[in-house]
Structure 1
């Protein structure tokens, strides 16, 4: 295991963008560097994934990775191919595959599972979250949200704008806020549920058309959408 960790650790050096590297590669490297120190790193995630694969697919696993040198090279290759994904997302996707797939998963299967990553953490899709935020009745904080991220994204976007402006104007703003919140959830942050209003509190006065336009313009400028 120490030898595996040593070889896998070399990825950090090998995968740093060279002078001719693309902006995408540089961006992936930057995202890896920005991950908070308390989150499991990619090496731990890959080791955990393969440990679970061994338990779940014992005979298949040892037939495919019975040679220790081959196992080290395989883990290194998986790390290179999955380095742009968050460790918690990888582990959750692999766990879901173990529960639903009869055969040893491939890199592409793990990536496809990660593309459905929001639901792995109880998060609705961006489209479903937007529809939920638009349809939720007042008071918003008392509604039973599918996830606190939906409420926070709606509140950040502005409830009046969601209720009164066309989708082509508001959805990009909501989407940006929601994706930022989902990223925080994927990094392990727990978002608190909204606090229902006190009894007897009155709803806010609706905004005028001019104020709604001003707020929407300000939000679009802030988020560059």
Structure 2
């Protein structure tokens, strides 16, 4: 797959490609580096990332950019500031919102929803951005983030105790705690 990606880049970024890889030794070293860096991704993800690079950038991508593009998937890892805005503007309950990527939800949860909602952007954005950067790094290493889950209420909450049963439980608790 790496050979196919490099062939695709050679066709699309011909002058830049020739300048970046002037000889076969450089090309082979670059391919080894890319193979090692992108090993966490399936061949289909790597090719999809390469096609995204061609569509989104007029410049030959770096390994770091390819990691981001491969991890993007169909719905993509949004840019940090866009992720921050999405996290701040998402309605409650947060888990039921249709997130552009689970990384945005997890970064918002880590940064604390209350903190994001009650602090100015100049204070909240750096905190969110740091959490988002760490989560994106995990995604780029191949970790699959769990989608947000909305906690559900009990199906059968049970029936309340009678006054006599409550008094009996309270007496047992007092005896157990020696009150």
Matched, 1:94 2:50: yes
Post-superposition offset of 1:57: 6.5
Q: Which moved more, 1:111-120 or 1:128-137?
A: 111-120
CA distance, structure 1, for counterparts of residue 69 and residue 55 of structure 2: 17
Q: Which runs of 5+ in 2 are unaligned?
A: 155-179
- 1:51 is aligned to 2:7: no
Does the CA-based 8 Å contact 2:102-2:146 persist in structure 1?
yes
- Cα–Cα, structure 1 residues 179 and 55, in superposed 2: closer, same or farther, change >3 Å? closer
The match for 2:129 is 175
Superposed displacement of residue 114, structure 1: 1.1
Aligned match for 1:124, one of 78, 83, 92: 78
Q: Which residue is 2:147 aligned to? A: 193
Contact kept? 1:149, 1:181, Cα under 8 Å: yes
| Deviation, structure 1 residue 79 | 5.5
Distance 1:116 1:86 in 2: 8
Secondary structure (helix, strand or coil) at the match of 2:61 reads: helix
1:111 and 2:59 are equivalent in the alignment: no
Q: Which residue matches 1:11?
A: none
Cα deviation digits, residues 44-78 of structure 1 (max 9, x gap): xxxx32234447868xx9xx99xxxx5344222x3
Which segments of 5 or more consecutive residues in structure 1 lack a partner in the other structure? 1-47, 201-225
TM-score (norm 2): 0.60
Aligned to 2:28: 75
Structure 1 residues 71 and 145, CA gap change in structure 2 (3 angstroms): same
Answer whether contact 1:118 1:182 (CA < 8 A) is retained.
Answer: no
Match of 1:144 in 2: 98
Distance change (3 Å), C-alpha of 1:196 and 1:95: same
Distance in 2 (alpha carbons) for counterparts of 1:116 and 1:53: 15
Count of matched residue positions in the alignment of Structure 1 and Structure 2: 138
Q: Distance in 2 between matches of 1:177 and 1:118?
A: 19
User: Cα gap change, 1:91/1:71 in structure 2, threshold over 3 Å: closer, same or farther?
Assistant: farther
The answer as to whether partners of 1:86 and 1:186 remain within 8 angstroms in 2 is no
Q: Is the alpha carbon distance of 1:139 and 1:166 closer, same or farther for their aligned partners in structure 2, counting shifts above 3 Å?
A: same
C-alpha separation in 2, matches of 1:166 and 1:119: 33
Cα offset, 1:184, TM superposition: 0.8
Instruction: Tell me the TM-score normalized by structure 1.
Output: 0.49
